[in-house]
Chain A
Amino acid sequence: MPVTQHDDTTVWHRRTFKQTLAHSAMWLGGLAVFAYCWMQISNSTTWFFVWDAPRIAGDIWSRATPPKWEYITQLGRPIWDTLNIATLGTLISLCLAVPVAFLAAHNTTPSKLFIRPVALFIIVATRSINSLIWALLLIAIIGPGVFAGVVAIAIRSIGFCAKLLYEAIEEIDSVQVEAITATGASRWQVMAFGIVPQIMPAFAGIAVFRWDINIRESTVLGLVGAGGIGLQLSASLNVLAWPQVSLILLVILAAVVISEWVSAKVRGAII
């Protein structure tokens, strides 16, 4: 203990001498590793390109401005598709996530030994694969287009929604559930009266949050051919039509800002 006795005063330090030494050694080691990594990265970087970067960026900027405003007439449909992909995908994923969440939560799962691991596996599996990769897979299976995008977003979101929802289910006040059970209510009635009212705010919050994320994710799905505004983006990038690219980025930015605003409003209304 870092307490020492000097005559009649008891002195307290945060660490003993040995601990201080160990602490300093740890910092020293950390710094050494950092310096070594820095050197490695520096050696394998072609510095010419880095020094050149501001010029190139300036060049692209001058090509991209001003945006090609008249191109906007061709963007209405794709951005509408993008919004639909996000919204439909979120709705479908919520329908699938609710049962998975109830099967995964400790206090509602019918079987901790068999069903819960399956539900947890669904959550991990759908969550761990990015929606772009899901889209690539699905395009191979069901062909390119908006539908592949919707399904990709839906699958990707199941794990996210189910995970947050099952955590909310596990955090409910069990006494309220007990009270409903004690009235002689059936299993489903206990769910409808004891559990659902308690997780409603969490559910609404998760739904809006995921919708918000999905709008951003669906803007890039077109890059791999799964519909939406990303199709236009990739087409414009391929022909180096920088003024079109900058307009598309502006439209995406506007859509994201609007979705942020809507979800903030909805969340404010619920809580």
Chain B
Amino acid sequence: MLKLKKLVKTYATGDQALKSIELEVPEGQVLALIGPSGAGKSTLIRCINRLVEPTSGEVWLGDTELTKLNSSGLRRARREMGMIFQEYALVERLTVMENVLSGRLGYVGFWRSLTRRFPQSDVDEAFRLLDRVGLLAMADKRADELSGGQRQRVGICRALIQNPKLLLVDEPTASLDPKTSRQIMRLICELCAERGLAAIINIHDVALAQMFVQRVVGLRFGAVEFDGPPEALVPDVLTTIYGEEDWEATIKKDDEEVAQ
């Protein structure tokens, strides 16, 4: 469904963030992207919806090639890709409801969005999603009144109300405590399963990734080092991705948690 062909990103400073990435994500697959800081994980998902312009290569979503689209074509394509951010990236001074409805901006004209007259079907869907993530009571609160976990749930609603085919998730748990992190990861994976969504999740926490996803891709220096099921992440593999370290603890901790 999503296919990256020879994707390259070289920043103006000369840093090669992505070196000819080849990746294919079938429909409904949740994929974790791991790798050390600076490996190009964020750049990779931002190159998909062109928040960062790729230098060369192709990005196919279904049968549209995204890198050649003009601005209105790109906006239509972006509606198909929901994005979830590390620091939630909610518009702090808008209400929860406005934040969720902002996911529909690609479908609604300027004046209607300015005067907040969203179609009733969008409002219904917003309430349904907020109910699904357990934040119905918060709909009228301002986004900056919520806790981290609650904000991330609003972020998830905003991505899902786009009715996307693909979720791009950038470090969803990096700002959250361990328990909330798991809840958020579980929620994202459940919602993807419910809706048959594909997702690319950037994540630092290897153990957490192993717990929830079907496939792991390891990135190092802008190139794919590993691509396989989570069980195949043995210490040797982690060493090739991250460098030398005692990985037994990381993986063992994960086994125990799965057993619980």
Q: Give the interface of A toward B (CB within 8 A).
A: 173, 175-176, 178-186, 188-189, 192-194, 197-198, 200-201
Inter-subunit contact A176/B51 (CB<8 Å): no
Whether, in the assembled complex, B257 has its beta carbon less than 8 Å from a beta carbon of chain A, the answer is no
Binds A, one of B73-81, B122-130, B244-252: B73-81
* Chain B residue nearest in CB terms to A189: B105
Which 7 A-B pairs give the minimum distances between C-beta atoms?
A184-B106, A185-B105, A184-B78, A179-B89, A184-B79, A182-B83, A197-B93
Inter-subunit contact A182/B91 (CB<8 Å): no
Whether, in the assembled complex, B165 has its beta carbon less than 8 Å from a beta carbon of chain A, the answer is no
27 pairs, A vs B, C-beta closer than 8 Å = A173-B89, A175-B89, A178-B85, A178-B89, A179-B89, A180-B91, A180-B105, A182-B78, A182-B81, A182-B168, A183-B78, A183-B82, A183-B83, A183-B104, A184-B75, A184-B78, A184-B79, A184-B107, A184-B162, A185-B105, A185-B106, A185-B113, A189-B105, A192-B114, A193-B91, A194-B91, A197-B94
* Chain A residue nearest in CB terms to B103: A183
Whether, in the assembled complex, B150 has its beta carbon less than 8 Å from a beta carbon of chain A, the answer is no
Instruction: Tell me what chain A mostly uses at the interface: helix, strand, loop, or mixed.
Output: helix
Q: Knowing that A175-B85, A178-B89, A185-B102 are A-B contacts, what are 16 other residue pairs whose CB atoms are under 8 Å apart, sorted by A's residue number?
A: A173-B92, A178-B51, A179-B83, A179-B85, A180-B91, A183-B78, A183-B82, A184-B76, A184-B78, A186-B75, A192-B110, A192-B113, A193-B91, A193-B98, A197-B91, A201-B93
Q: Give the interface of B toward A (CB within 8 A).
A: 49, 51, 75-79, 81-83, 85, 87, 89-94, 98, 102-107, 110, 113-114, 155, 158, 162, 168
Inter-subunit contact B89/A183 (CB<8 Å): no
User: What residues on A are CB-neighbors of B103 within 8 Å?
Assistant: 183
* CA A176 to CA B75, docked complex, whole Å: 17
Inter-subunit contact A183/B106 (CB<8 Å): yes
Instruction: Tell me what chain B mostly uses at the interface: helix, strand, loop, or mixed.
Output: mixed
Chain A CB count within 10 A is highest, among B76, B91, B93, for B91
User: What residues on B are CB-neighbors of A197 within 8 Å?
Assistant: 91-94
Tell me how far the C-beta of B48 lies from the nearest C-beta in chain A, rounded to whole angstroms: 10
Chain B CB count within 10 A is highest, among A178, A185, A186, A197, for A185
Inter-subunit contact A198/B51 (CB<8 Å): no
Tell me how far the C-beta of B141 lies from the nearest C-beta in chain A, rounded to whole angstroms: 15
* CA A39 to CA B169, docked complex, whole Å: 72
From A179, A182, A183, A185, contact of B90 by CB (8 A): A179
* CA A5 to CA B168, docked complex, whole Å: 61
From B51, B87, B92, B113, contact of A182 by CB (8 A): B51
Chain B CB count within 10 A is highest, among A182, A197, A198, A201, for A182
Tell me how far the C-beta of A175 lies from the nearest C-beta in chain B, rounded to whole angstroms: 4
* CA A218 to CA B114, docked complex, whole Å: 36
User: What residues on B are CB-neighbors of A186 within 8 Å?
Assistant: 75, 105, 110
* Chain B residue nearest in CB terms to A194: B91
User: What residues on B are CB-neighbors of A201 within 8 Å?
Assistant: 93
* Chain A residue nearest in CB terms to B98: A193
User: What residues on B are CB-neighbors of A194 within 8 Å?
Assistant: 91
Chain B CB count within 10 A is highest, among A176, A186, A194, A201, for A176
User: What residues on B are CB-neighbors of A185 within 8 Å?
Assistant: 75, 102, 105-106, 113
* CA A181 to CA B78, docked complex, whole Å: 9
User: What residues on A are CB-neighbors of B76 within 8 Å?
Assistant: 184
Tell me how far the C-beta of A270 lies from the nearest C-beta in chain B, rounded to whole angstroms: 11
Inter-subunit contact B83/A198 (CB<8 Å): no
Chain B CB count within 10 A is highest, among A183, A192, A193, for A183
Tell me how far the C-beta of B214 lies from the nearest C-beta in chain A, rounded to whole angstroms: 24
* Chain A residue nearest in CB terms to B155: A179
Chain B CB count within 10 A is highest, among A179, A181, A188, A198, for A179
* CA A22 to CA B168, docked complex, whole Å: 61
User: What residues on B are CB-neighbors of A189 within 8 Å?
Assistant: 105, 110, 113
* Chain A residue nearest in CB terms to B106: A184
User: What residues on A are CB-neighbors of B110 within 8 Å?
Assistant: 186, 188-189, 192
Chain A CB count within 10 A is highest, among B87, B90, B105, for B105
Tell me how far the C-beta of B42 lies from the nearest C-beta in chain A, rounded to whole angstroms: 11
* Chain B residue nearest in CB terms to A175: B89
* CA A200 to CA B94, docked complex, whole Å: 11
